[in-house]
């Protein structure tokens, strides 16, 4: 007589449905994710109840970090190329193909205009490691003749006439720095611009009638 | 990967095979990636608020209609309504909002003048600009602080 073997049960869980859900969510998140571009300057924006979306093109962003350092950025690549053309014409140099390519990929730039030629003549590594002191503007550099920001604004506008302007300040930026940016915009008669903020919930109706 | 379950019971000579694929590893990978994407995604995109600043020409305002706000240090606001700067008060954002609502109700054609001081942080200024949106104040201006105002605030010891 054969021995009676105890039956061995291997519990098997059907994971098909779980896999379906997991991949569905995964696909959703992969498709909706856009990776944050590598920013040279850290700006933690304040929040407001404004719900206007940022326009993805034709936008020049003036970043001001917590210490008042200023970086400028152009939203679209044709504008960046146009801006570089203007800088080359004004400062009498021609960037190498590599330098031009590198410049076009920058989301924000904080190199004084006088140093752009030197900056873009280096190798890719050197350009990446280049110390960006920030765009010169009155808050840091009191000489009005050296107001690089004013020139950047002109370059932005002439490279792309539809350019609109946005100020992206840090919560802790000293206001005088922002005031200098606004005055520089006003020097060009640009009296309408945007402030970039995070979204916050509107307060309840306290005090309202 | 695949575990094949042999079912040898039942009728003699015939084998029924059900093929099961072990999906544990696949689920592991799927959830790992899912976790990564959930954690790295920021669903809240930055927004922007539009402001228009007055041209640099002095405008004569009837001071009785003007509420002046100086965003100061530490998120506090110094403000007065009307022609008497001596009635200046220091309040928090919520108190200022209540005051704006009150002024909108009592003053015709109220104009709010926002004059950030040397010590203001940018966030404080954005907060008060946002109040304009919240309270629906129609006329407001973000203007540069004058020497006179600086002197006045100094005298009062307000920062």
The H or E element containing residue B140 is: strand B139-142
Is B70 within the bounds of a domain? Answer: yes
Q: Let me know whether B81 and B8 are in one domain.
A: no
A202 touches chain B (CB under 8 A): yes
Q: Let me know whether B69 and B6 are in one domain.
A: no
Query: Checking DSSP bridges between strand B47-52 and strand A52-53, what pairing results, if any?
Result: antiparallel
Strands (DSSP E) contained in B1-84 are 2-7, 16-21, 47-52, 66-71, 77-81
Q: What is the dihedral of CA A48, A54, A59, A65, to 10 degrees?
A: 40
Q: With pLDDT > 70 as the criterion, what percentage of chain B qualifies? A: 83
Q: Let me know whether B77 and B130 are in one domain.
A: yes
Strands (DSSP E) contained in chain A are 47-48, 52-53, 59-64, 70-74, 164-169, 192-199
pTM of this prediction? Answer: 0.75
Q: Let me know whether B17 and B72 are in one domain.
A: no
Structure token digits, residue A81: 């190329």
Answer whether A176 sits within 8 Å of B27, measured CB to CB: no
pLDDT for A206 equals 42
The H or E element containing residue A103 is: helix A97-104
What is the SS3 assignment for A42? coil
Domain count, chain B: 2
Query: From CA B93, how far away is CA B96, in angstroms rounded?
Result: 5
Q: Is the pLDDT of residue B38 over 80?
A: yes
Taking Cα atoms as reference points, which of B64, B54, B74, B62 lies closest to residue B115? B54
Q: Is the pLDDT of residue B2 over 50?
A: no
Is B150 within the bounds of a domain? Answer: yes
pLDDT for B152 equals 85
Stretches where chain A sits below pLDDT 70 are 1-3, 35-38, 143-145, 203-209
Question: What mean pLDDT comes out for the span B152-159?
Answer: 80
A118 touches chain B (CB under 8 A): no
Contacting residues of B for A19, CB less than 8 Å apart: 23, 26-27, 30
Is B53 within the bounds of a domain? Answer: no
The parent domain of residue B121 ranges over 63-156
Please state, as a whole number, how many other Cβ atoms lie within 10 Å of the Cβ of residue A114. 11
Residues 107-136 on B with a CB inside 8 Å of A are 116-127, 129-130, 133-134
Is B48 within the bounds of a domain? Answer: no
Is B55 within the bounds of a domain? Answer: no
Query: From CA A7, how far away is CA A37, in angstroms rounded?
Result: 59
Structure token digits, residue A199: 């979204």
Answer whether B130 sits within 8 Å of A45, measured CB to CB: no
Question: What mean pLDDT comes out for the span B22-44?
Answer: 82
Answer whether B48 sits within 8 Å of A33, measured CB to CB: no
Are A109 and A83 spatial neighbours (Cβ–Cβ below 8 Å)? no
The H or E element containing residue B112 is: strand B111-114
Query: From CA A186, how far away is CA A207, in angstroms rounded?
Result: 35
CA separation, residue B155 to residues A178, B72, B77, B81, B149 (Å): 26, 15, 17, 19, 10
Is B98 within the bounds of a domain? Answer: yes
pLDDT tens per residue, range A104-147: 988 888 888 888 888 888 888 888 888 888 888 888 777 666 78
Is B50 within the bounds of a domain? Answer: no
Hey, which residues does A47 pair with through a beta bridge? A198
pLDDT tens per residue, range B51-78: 877 765 556 667 788 888 988 888 888 8
The complex's ipTM works out to 0.73
Is B49 within the bounds of a domain? Answer: no
**CATH number, residue B148:** 3.30.420
């Amino acid at each position: 007589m054969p021995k009676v073997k105890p039956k061995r049960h291997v519990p098997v869980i059907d994971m098909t449905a779980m896999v379906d859900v997991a991949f569905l969510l995964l696909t959703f998140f992969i498709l909706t994710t856009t990776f944050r571009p590598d920013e040279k300057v850290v700006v933690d924006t304040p929040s407001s109840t404004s719900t206007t979306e940022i326009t993805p093109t034709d936008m020049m962003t003036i970043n001001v970090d917590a210490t008042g350092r200023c970086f400028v950025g152009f939203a679209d690549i044709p504008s960046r190329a146009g801006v570089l053309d203007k800088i080359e014409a004004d400062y009498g140099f021609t960037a190498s193909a590599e330098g031009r390519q590198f410049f076009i990929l920058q989301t924000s730039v904080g190199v004084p205009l006088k140093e752009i030629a030197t900056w873009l003549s280096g190798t890719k590594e050197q350009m990446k490691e280049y110390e960006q002191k920030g765009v010169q503007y009155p808050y840091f550099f009191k000489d009005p003749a050296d107001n690089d920001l004013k020139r950047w604004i002109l370059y932005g506008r002439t490279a792309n006439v539809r350019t609109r302007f946005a100020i992206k300040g840090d919560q802790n930026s000293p206001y005088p720095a922002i005031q200098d940016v606004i005055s520089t915009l006003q020097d060009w008669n640009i009296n309408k611009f945007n402030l970039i903020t995070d979204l916050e919930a509107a307060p309840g109706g306290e005090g309202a009638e | 990967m695949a575990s094949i379950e042999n079912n040898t019971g039942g009728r003699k000579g015939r084998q029924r095979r059900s093929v099961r694929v072990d999906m544990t590893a696949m689920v592991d990978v799927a959830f790992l990636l899912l976790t990564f994407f959930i954690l790295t995604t920021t669903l809240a995109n930055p927004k922007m608020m539009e402001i228009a600043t007055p041209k640099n020409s002095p405008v004569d305002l009837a001071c009785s209609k003007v509420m002046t706000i100086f965003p100061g240090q530490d998120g506090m606001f110094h403000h007065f309504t009307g022609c008497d700067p001596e009635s200046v008060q220091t309040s928090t954002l919520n108190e200022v909002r209540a005051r704006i609502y009150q002024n909108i109700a009592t003053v015709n054609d109220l104009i709010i003048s926002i004059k950030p001081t040397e010590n203001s942080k940018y966030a404080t200024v954005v907060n008060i600009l946002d109040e304009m949106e919240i309270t629906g104040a129609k006329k407001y201006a973000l203007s540069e602080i004058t020497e006179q105002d600086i002197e006045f605030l100094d005298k009062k010891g307000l920062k």
